[in-house]
Chains A and B, each alone.
Chain A
Amino acid sequence: MSVISLVALALLVMVAGGFYMGRTRAIKQVAGRSSELHSLPNYYGYYVALWTGFPALLLLAAYGLFGAASTHSWTVAELRAQAHEMSAQFEGDLAANSEYVQLESTLESLELTVNGLREELARLRRANDADRDPHLIQLRLEEQRSSRALLALAGTSIEDYRTGVATGMLVTARETGVAASIRAGFFLTHSDIVRAELFMSDARKIARGETPSELLPELEIVASRLTDHQNTLRNSVGLLVLALAAIALLWTRSQIQPQFRARNNVERLTTVLLIAASILSIITTIGIVLSMLFESMRFFSIIPIQDFLFGLHWSPQIAIREDQLGQSGAFGAIPLFAGTAMITLIAMLVAVPIGLFSAIYLSEYAAPKFRTIAKPVLEVLAGVPTVVFGFFALLTVGPAIRALFTSLGFESAVTQSALSAGLVMGVMIIPFISSLSDDVINAVPQSLRDGSYAMGATRSETVVHVVIPAALPGIFGAVLLAISRAIGETMIVVMAAGQGANLTANPLESVTTITVQIVALLTGDLEFEGPKTLSAFALGLTLFAVTLLMNVIALRVVQKYREKYD
């Protein structure tokens, strides 16, 4: 059994023991007359147990989260320090190497050129309409592009040169019998990140007793260091945890007196826990919004916000080489907004009538027996994973629609169309609308229905003239929530709507949505500096703003409606 499980077990025993000790001590102090205690005896137990368990548990959790990483960085830092002399010799050799010094000065001058060009471009772009010289901007852009390519090239050759020299030194070191740990440290200091990471993962494998990809003396020494450090860290953390728990146990136990307000203290502790939980979720939300905001601001510093919001052309690929066609790097998001709006509209045209009508049937007409079966069955639809719906849209609905419209003479009909994505998304949304509408229709007081029946109205007259008008605000809220769900839906449209950013009103064409583009922009190889990747954040922020607005309106409306009948 591992040390950590033993510590955890001991902690558990201490918590249970703390509860028991707190409780018995409280009872003993009043000689069994529990009514003389400020709180019920159990609260004294909870008080001791909470203080015993929590700080120690937090420490244990921190170890679980960061233990491996800190062992790793400790080991690497130690090895690098040992290779300090060898590294110094390496740098000295390089500084004395005229070829290398030449390379370095080239790199510096290229950096200066690129920076100068960037500043000039920014100045040119900021210029007023009259002074703006598009030709000059174009010229400077091309210059910038070529000097950037040169810069990248220079950077790579410097890296290659350094790696070459370092490898040579390592070979010599092995021949002259330099200690394996120093060689490992030197390697970790001077190899590139990917190879260092592979090296460390092999070392971790050896430390765990698994088979590494290659067996080197350097790896073995690193593995043994890793194991040592891991054991030291684990043992000291284990001791610390137990000590913390023991101190807390003894201290809180000594606090217990008949007049000690254990109940209030326990309550305060639980309140702190609850607050921490809610703050955590709020902070996460704020963090997400802020990160989107900052990345979007970087994007808008490259592409003006009005070009993004009102531009009619979306083509985020930026040409890397001169001869690439159709990759102009246009970031006008209107086609995406239009595609999102069209698919959402189609989805709503499907979901609102069907969902609303089934809600009316279920709540007003259906026999209770049928209702108890049908309602959960309808809600199962909400539990179907959206990727399954996407599948269904791509493989069943899409081809069917294409076949139907081709036979009707629409030769241009395609499989990945706005129509198939919208239809299937509508089916997915049905349970949202029906379930929420069913709830609001049921919340319409029976007295209103009775009043209508007593006037000699039939069931359908009552539904149309009394129940629906009374439930309308709630139904409106349900529809808004469903719309924001549809706008944010990703999987179905990724699979079924296609990728082409067409600005069209024809539902048989393939369109693309905000969410699809975010997926497309953030999958594959990324470069986080370019506007292509950054535009995903701007799209995400737009999406967030729209759905937030919808949800706020919906919640307001529903709330207002609740107040009216409660």
Chain B
Amino acid sequence: MTTAQAQATLYHDIPEARDVKVAIAGVDVHYGDKQALFDVSMQIPDRSVTAFIGPSGCGKSTFLRCVNRMNDTIDGAVVTGSLKIDGTEINDKTIDPVVLRASVGMVFQKPNPFPKSIYDNVAYGPKIHGLAATREELDGIVEQSLVKAGLWGEVSDRLTDPGTSLSGGQQQRLVIARAIAVNPEVILMDEPCSALDPIATAKVEELIDELRENYCIIMVTHSMAQAARVSQMTAFFHLGNLVEYGPTEEIFTNPRERRTQDYITGRFG
């Protein structure tokens, strides 16, 4: 395969009528002496779900953490290259990662509610960013976020209970509600269902599908079926390289790369 062909697969046209939300060009990530990501470039559309798949250690989570500069919190991690959200360069010393993270929410693999009440978990972001001037406004934000996360009906009568008292699936939706309470533009999800049972997984997937209407969602998943079910775009990473990126149907039905096909059909990984 020639370089030109490779470029063609990487810069696959994104479907029309969707704007580019995140544009990435030539991103390398080093952890100390070890290079974790090699020259990744891709364009991620708004109002859709983009799934990152690939075997463990392929760099997909590392790449996800570049988008809200969470790699800054790791000692010795160096990110080079260009990452733009709505045309604004974010991989830049002048951008405050704290401000950036207010507009790029993140949901982790294991539900991590804070040791606070359900209400305070959701109100955490709005409080530290001063999004609500009055108690009523804050109540409104909390309620809306819980409604959007499909959790309001289950917890509206026990908002003062600790967040950790909820079930695993509920906790994960609480964490999603916490993320959307600050009204982000992009939501990153790092294997959001891998610690959940199938029923809770179905609920969270349904929620992701609804959230797609308003947010640009980027998720890492180990489940091929999940990528196929909820995502519109899929990127396949292997050994720190972006191997193939395109509309999900195409990746799953007609991959251009041999390695993608092998991985999807379970021949390696």
Residue ranges of A at the interface with B (Cβ–Cβ < 8 Å):
368, 445, 447-458, 461, 465-466, 469-470, 564
Contact = CB atoms under 8 A, between A and B. Distances in A.
Interface stretch (B78-86, B123-131, B241-249): B123-131
B142 interface: no
A408 to B, nearest CB: 43
Contact of A447 (B102, B110, B179, B182): B110
Contact of A454 (B99, B106, B110, B116): B106
Interface string B104-123: 01101010111110000000
- Interface residue tally of chain B, by bracket? 20 to 34
A451 B113 CA distance: 8
B128 A454 contact: no
A218 to B, nearest CB: 81
B112 A455 contact: no
Nearest to B126: A455
A459 to B, nearest CB: 9
Nearest to A454: B106
Interface string B68-81: 10100101000000
Nearest to A470: B115
B178 interface: yes
Given A457-B128, A461-B128, A465-B128, A452 B98 contact: no
Given A454-B70, A455-B178, A455-B182, A448 B125 contact: no
B185 to A, nearest CB: 13
Contact of B108 (A450, A461, A564): A450
Nearest to A445: B112
A449 B72 CA distance: 13
Contacts of A447: 108, 110, 112
Contacts, number: 68
A453 B72 CA distance: 10
Given A450-B106, A451-B112, A466-B114, 15 more contacts: A447-B112, A450-B73, A451-B178, A454-B70, A454-B188, A455-B101, A455-B102, A455-B128, A455-B182, A456-B98, A456-B100, A457-B98, A465-B114, A465-B124, A465-B128
In the A-B complex, the 7 residue pairs with the smallest Cβ-Cβ separation, listed nearest first, are A456-B102, A454-B106, A456-B101, A447-B112, A451-B112, A470-B115, A455-B125
B175 interface: yes
Contact of A455 (B75, B99, B105, B188): B105
Given A456-B182, A461-B128, A451 B108 contact: yes
A456 B114 contact: no
Contacts of B178: 451, 455
Given A450-B108, A453-B73, A465-B128, A458 B98 contact: yes
Contacts of B112: 445, 447-448, 450-451
Contacts of B101: 453-456
Nearest to B124: A455
A453 B112 CA distance: 12
Nearest to B125: A455
A452 B116 CA distance: 12
The majority secondary structure among interface residues of chain A is helix
B175 A451 contact: yes
Contacts of B108: 447, 450-451, 454
A448 B112 CA distance: 6
A451 B128 contact: no
19 contacts: A445-B112, A447-B108, A447-B112, A449-B73, A450-B112, A451-B175, A453-B101, A454-B68, A454-B101, A454-B105, A454-B106, A455-B125, A455-B179, A455-B182, A456-B99, A456-B182, A457-B128, A469-B116, A470-B115
Nearest to A451: B112
Nearest to B114: A466
A469 B115 CA distance: 7
Nearest to A368: B75
Contacts of A465: 114, 124, 128
Contact of A469 (B73, B75, B99, B114): B114
A452 B70 contact: no
A548 B174 CA distance: 41
B194 to A, nearest CB: 13
Nearest to A447: B112
B100 to A, nearest CB: 8
A564 B163 CA distance: 13
Contacts of B100: 456
A475 B95 CA distance: 36
Contacts of B73: 449-450, 453
Nearest to A473: B115
Nearest to B101: A456
A424 B68 CA distance: 48
Nearest to A461: B128
Contacts of A450: 70, 73, 106, 108, 112
A456 B70 contact: no
A368 B74 CA distance: 12
B115 A456 contact: no
A459 B182 CA distance: 18
A465 B123 CA distance: 12
A320 B262 CA distance: 100
Contacts of A445: 112
B117 to A, nearest CB: 11
Contacts of A368: 75
A388 to B, nearest CB: 38
Nearest to A457: B128
Nearest to B73: A453
Interface string B127-145: 0110000000000000000
A533 to B, nearest CB: 51
Contacts of B175: 451
A470 B162 CA distance: 12
A165 B113 CA distance: 91
B114 A451 contact: yes
Nearest to A367: B75
A25 to B, nearest CB: 54
Nearest to A472: B115
A466 B99 CA distance: 19
Given A450-B70, A451-B175, A456 B129 contact: yes
A527 to B, nearest CB: 58
B192 to A, nearest CB: 13
A461 B125 CA distance: 11
B67 to A, nearest CB: 11
